[in-house]
């Protein structure tokens, strides 16, 4: 609920070596109605409700919402307390009743609330039930229900407390049971059930070098970026003693780094590798690159490259292409597979305009290109596709009083394809946190 803050020393007293500190804050509106409507690729979704990010001045958050989209309809609430009883503990209580199942989440955590925090502890319990759809060129051809029950207990400890860089160890026990059920639209079977109960140990290293930037992922807002290395290495074991289907090792490596190549040139990058040593080994390698060239205060050029490669991925967790920031001229889940490449070039124009002192205005034009590589099973059941290209341009509206920083995208897009259902110009309206 605070948009910006400034801390200044306004007076120094040499006699007792004391200072007067002036703190100035700019507040956001914390009580906001939710009235969302999005349409892309012939699919629409809507929501109505309200969000309060500072309930009765306590700093707690409450969200009540009714949602409807092409896959489900439901009503739910979320209560989040970031500082329980004035402490560094936080808690979340969430429940939703949907057309395809009821979901809930309970959690209590004491996170690493600052870089120098000595320890962290957390407990989480959640259940989700939802219909999963499989698509061919954006059309649903199969569905099934997935029910996931999950519980986690986690403890973290900071090593070398006197070091400028942050080194942490984390240990966790997780119980995860996933079951699948037929629905009336199940025509091509369901995936096998799986139990992924596990224990793991993780090492985390953070080289703290934070900077305040503007007009990177949003606009007219302060954005914090770490230009130091961030690294995580996790080693774990799926355990039959805890309920897992089989004993199997797994490991995960993640790394992130941002560079300022010049005064007006930034490179943001992250990479992740996950491998599970099942009877048929499973792995997923992902890396994302973003290059931002700020031409001046009001103009930027942005290039993005996403590369993902998997093997033996779970059938209900493939890589998708289409929708959101992945080929925006195509419907969500347009194609899926086990390898994906996405390339985006975007021009951004920022302005000083403000509609009714409520919405800041910017503009964008972009070209997206992408390709998905399907599995052999998908090649047998669905149509294969080559490289997909889409173009678009539109307006970005940022609520300058909102505590969420949500941007409204109003775009005209066109998919460069011979698909008769997609080759026209389409109006696309979405709400997202990114530019």
pLDDT tens for 357-416 read: 788 999 999 999 999 998 777 666 666 678 899 999 999 998 877 766 778 889 999 988
What was the pLDDT predicted at 200? 98
What was the pLDDT predicted at 304? 96
In a domain, 320, yes or no: yes
* Domain assignment of residue 227, given as a range: 53-432
41 pLDDT band (50/70/90 cuts)?
low
- Look up residue 87 and give its two tokens: 């402490």
pLDDT tens for 73-105 read: 889 999 999 988 889 999 999 999 888 778 999
**pLDDT value at 417 more than 70:** yes
pLDDT tens for 262-276 read: 999 999 999 999 999
- Look up residue 358 and give its two tokens: 């409520």
User: What CATH number did the domain enclosing 304 receive?
Assistant: 2.40.160.50
In a domain, 27, yes or no: no
What was the pLDDT predicted at 43? 61
pLDDT tens for 279-302 read: 999 999 999 999 999 999 999 999
Distance between CA atoms of residues 291 and 216, nearest Å: 10
If one compares 44 and 424, the residue with the highest pLDDT of the two is 424
Question: In the predicted model, what is the mean pLDDT of residues 339-356?
Answer: 93
**pLDDT value at 40 more than 70:** no
Q: Do β-strands 139-159 and 119-136 pair in parallel, antiparallel, or remain unpaired?
A: antiparallel
Question: In the predicted model, what is the mean pLDDT of residues 248-271?
Answer: 97
Distance between CA atoms of residues 278 and 284, nearest Å: 14
What was the pLDDT predicted at 160? 86
Distance between CA atoms of residues 19 and 321, nearest Å: 56
Mean pLDDT (the chain) is 89
**pLDDT value at 10 more than 70:** yes
Element (H, E) at 380: helix 376-381
What was the pLDDT predicted at 42? 56
**Cβ-based neighbour number of residue 253 at 10 Å:** 15
C-alpha of 429 from chain center: 19
Question: What burial class does residue 117 get, using C-beta atoms within 10 Å of its C-beta: 0-12 exposed, 13-18 middle, 19+ buried?
Answer: middle
In a domain, 1, yes or no: no
| pLDDT more than 90, % of the chain | 58
328 pLDDT band (50/70/90 cuts)?
confident
Question: In the predicted model, what is the mean pLDDT of residues 47-53?
Answer: 85
CB 193 within 8 A of CB 178: yes
In a domain, 21, yes or no: no
In a domain, 6, yes or no: no
What was the pLDDT predicted at 30? 80
**pLDDT value at 354 more than 90:** no
Number of domains in the chain: 1
The partner residues of 377 in beta bridges, in order of sequence, read none
CB 62 within 8 A of CB 52: yes
What was the pLDDT predicted at 26? 79
What is the gyration radius of the CA atoms in the chain, in angstroms? 24
**pLDDT value at 194 more than 90:** yes
In a domain, 7, yes or no: no
256 pLDDT band (50/70/90 cuts)?
very high
If one compares 188 and 275, the residue with the highest pLDDT of the two is 275
Question: What burial class does residue 280 get, using C-beta atoms within 10 Å of its C-beta: 0-12 exposed, 13-18 middle, 19+ buried?
Answer: exposed
In a domain, 70, yes or no: yes
Which candidate, 118, 51, 60, places its Cα nearest to that of 86?
60
310 pLDDT band (50/70/90 cuts)?
very high
What was the pLDDT predicted at 139? 78
Question: In the predicted model, what is the mean pLDDT of residues 39-67?
Answer: 80
Cα–Cα separations (whole angstroms), residue 378 to 19, 222, 375: 68, 44, 5
In a domain, 409, yes or no: yes
129-147 per-residue burial string, b: 16 or more CB within 10 A, e: under 16? bbbbbbbbbbeeebbbbbb
If one compares 27 and 395, the residue with the highest pLDDT of the two is 395
């Amino acid at each position: 609920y605070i948009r910006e803050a400034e801390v200044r020393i306004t007076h120094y007293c040499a006699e007792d070596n004391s200072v007067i500190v002036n703190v100035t804050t700019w507040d956001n509106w914390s009580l906001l109605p939710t009235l969302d409507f999005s349409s892309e690729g012939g699919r629409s979704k809507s929501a109505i409700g309200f969000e309060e990010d500072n309930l009765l001045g306590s700093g707690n958050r409450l969200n009540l919402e009714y949602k409807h989209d092409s896959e489900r309809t439901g009503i739910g609430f979320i209560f989040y307390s970031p500082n329980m009883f004035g402490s560094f503990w936080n808690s979340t209580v969430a429940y939703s009743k949907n057309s395809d199942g009821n979901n809930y989440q309970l959690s209590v955590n004491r996170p690493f609330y600052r870089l120098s925090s000595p320890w962290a502890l957390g407990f989480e319990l959640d259940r989700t039930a939802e219909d999963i759809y499989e698509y061919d060129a954006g059309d649903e051809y199969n569905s099934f229900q997935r029910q996931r029950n999950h519980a986690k207990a986690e403890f973290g400890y900071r090593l070398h407390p006197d070091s400028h860089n942050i080194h942490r160890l984390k240990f966790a026990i997780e119980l995860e049971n996933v079951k699948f059920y037929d629905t009336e639209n199940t025509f091509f079977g369901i995936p096998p059930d799986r139990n992924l109960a596990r224990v793991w140990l993780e090492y985390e290293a953070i080289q703290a070098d934070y900077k305040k930037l503007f007009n990177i992922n949003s606009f007219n807002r302060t954005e914090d970026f770490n230009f130091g290395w961030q690294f995580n290495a996790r080693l774990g074991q799926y355990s039959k003693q805890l309920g897992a289907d089989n004993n199997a090792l797994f490991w995960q490596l993640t790394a992130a780094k941002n560079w300022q190549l010049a005064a007006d040139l930034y490179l943001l990058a992250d990479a992740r590798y996950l491998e599970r040593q099942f009877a048929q080994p499973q792995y997923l390698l992902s890396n994302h690159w973003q290059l931002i060239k700020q031409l001046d205060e009001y103009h930027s050029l942005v290039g993005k490259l996403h590369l993902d490669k998997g093997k033996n991925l779970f059938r209900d967790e493939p890589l998708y292409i289409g929708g959101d920031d992945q080929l925006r001229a195509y419907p969500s889940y347009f194609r899926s597979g086990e390898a994906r490449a996405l390339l985006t070039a975007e021009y951004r124009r920022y302005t000083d305009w403000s509609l009714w002192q409520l919405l800041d205005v910017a503009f964008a034009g972009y070209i997206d290109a992408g390709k998905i590589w399907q599995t052999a099973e998908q090649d047998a059941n669905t149509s294969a596709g080559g490289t997909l290209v889409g173009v678009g341009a539109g307006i970005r509206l940022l609520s300058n009083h909102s505590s969420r920083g949500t941007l409204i995208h109003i775009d005209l897009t066109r998919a460069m394809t011979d698909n008769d259902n997609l080759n026209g110009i389409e109006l696309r309206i979405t709400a997202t946190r990114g530019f």
